[in-house]
Structure 1
Amino acid sequence: MIFFKGFFGKKDTIAPKPVPPATVSASVPVNDLIEIPAFIPTDPNEYELVSVIATAIAAGDYPKSQFVVKNIMKRNPEAHLVSLISASIAAGTMPESKFVVKKISQVK
């Protein structure tokens, strides 16, 4: 029964002391950052071509199906360039790694 007492018996626990949060002062205030979106709205002249291609791919083997394209966005070239440059620099030190850029911000 001593075996089960080790699992189910009460243990003396000492409550750990709370660690005070460290104060970090940023060199740039958070309010001065502008988030760069990953996707931007497409030119209305390109809607028809993109809609036809997207619905043709989505239809696949079901030609009688119907699709409604609600929103068409394209990749932001500025965000794409920044993510490529930053991932390339990071890959220079760690070539076997993979990198994902979650958010890009610009100082005002």
Structure 2
Amino acid sequence: MEHYQEPLDGIFHALAHPARRAVLGRLGRGPVSISALAAPFDMALPSFMKHIRLLEESGLISTRKAGRVRTAALEPARFAAVEGWLETQRAIWTGRTDRLEAFVTNPDHQESPE
């Protein structure tokens, strides 16, 4: 599991702010200009750009400049690290809840030590 640690830290940090999650949600519909992404937010463009840079540094988005317009797009492959970690956690917790259910529904059940 340690091979996830470093990339996941940056990804979860990027996902920790509601504005960044909203940006990712909007980019899920396709690439868009930074100015269009910033429009719904009540913050100055330099402040918004800090969020964009953090998302870009985490690898969740990429930006491209064409003339005077910078466009952002999702990097879907980056979400694979999160998906892998979540699947591992889901498997662990499913096993634990299955053992708990077996213990609760069968009081004579002897749990073997792990």
TM-score, length-normalised on structure 2? Answer: 0.30
Of structures 1 and 2, the larger Rg is shown by 1
Which is richer in helix? 2
Bigger relative CO (Cα 8 Å, ≥ 6 apart): 1
- Calculate the TM-score normalised by the size of structure 1: 0.31
